[in-house]
Amino acid sequence: MKQGMRATALAVALVGVLATAPTATAKDRVIAVDGVSKTDADRRVEILVHVPEGASASAAADRALAGQGAKKAPPEAPQSNSYSFTGLFWDVLPVVQYYNPAGQKVSDAQTALTNTYPDWSGVRGSNYRIRSGGSTTRCPSLVRECPGAQKNDRLNDVGWAQLQNGTLGVTWSTSGTDEADMAINTLYTWTTGCAAHANSFDLESVILHENGHVAGLGHSTDVNAVMYPSYQTARCALAADDRAGLAALY
């Protein structure tokens, strides 16, 4: 999910379907888009979208939202701080998150996921906590690409899926029943280690951002924040604005 990529293609076989990875160039962008389900306004979605060079970011966002069966979220109220909130607030802590390794693109993907827990659980002045529940075979129930209708199963799952329309990663959440489910796109090339590499995205950087949404944080106007709605390079440590937002929420 970074600007320092050059063109690449990768064939991926998933569930018996042959797919070709999207191509990217150094001038491509990645943007973050907020939406709500067209059929259930209580379901919120946060999407990381790959925007090819020369393409309209607005059109790319619309395609990604349409692919998720969502529409743009209502504008947020003006904020006096850089950070914002999505409306998700966990009454019961810690948040327990499970990982489904099916289709994973790197062998240490679960480590990349669990590496983000100390960041979000260790913010001074915040009682927010998130921890691993271990592995699962469940497909994240709120993710549109999983079989059957989107539904709350009261479990917070992370998995891999063949996401369409330039979607790199997606997090669906509900605040009536507190639940957040995440999926990462198998069609892109991923690496770990929190370093910028050509032709790939850093998995931990993406999950760190997405787990901010799991906590209930929206996007930040601070370009240095993990929760800034664009990704330029690998970034695996929270910024002051991320910590301030979480401490304000919890």
- Ordered DSSP codes for 85-118: B-S---SSSSEEEEE--TT-SSTTHHHHHHTTHH
CATH T-level topology, domain 26-249: Collagenase (Catalytic Domain) (3.40.390)
Q: In terms of pTM, does the model score above 0.85?
A: yes
- Residue 216: is its pLDDT beyond 90? yes
Mean pLDDT of 64-92: 91
pLDDT band at residue 120 under the 50/70/90 scheme:
very high
How confident is the model at residue 192, as a pLDDT? 94
Is the pLDDT assigned to residue 19 strictly greater than 50?
no
Question: What is the per-residue pLDDT for 8?
Answer: 27
Q: How confident is the model at residue 199, as a pLDDT?
A: 76
Domain boundaries, the chain: 26-249
User: Measured between alpha carbons, how far is 183 from 127 in angstroms, rounded to an integer?
Assistant: 26
Looking at residue 22, its pLDDT comes to: 67
| Residue-level pLDDT at 16 | 28
Q: Is residue 20 very low, low, confident or very high in pLDDT (cuts 50, 70, 90)? A: low
Parallel, antiparallel or unpaired: strands 167-174 and 43-51: antiparallel
Burial 151-176 (b: 16+ CB within 10 A, else e): eeeebbbbbbbbbbbbbbbbbbbbbe
pLDDT given for residue 101 in this prediction: 98
122-155 pLDDT tens trace: 999 999 999 999 999 999 999 999 999 999 999 9
Least confident of 6-10, 31-35, 97-101, 213-217: 6-10
pLDDT confidence bin for 93, thresholds 50/70/90: very high
Say what the pLDDT of residue 200 is: 82
Look at the block and give the residue holding tokens 């917070």.
156
Residue 163 neighbours by CB under 8 Å, 6+ apart: 67, 145, 169, 170, 183, 185, 186, 187
pLDDT at 7 over 50: no
- Give the H/E segment covering residue 209: helix 203-215
Place of tokens 């999950």: 207
- Residue 28 pLDDT exceeds 50: yes
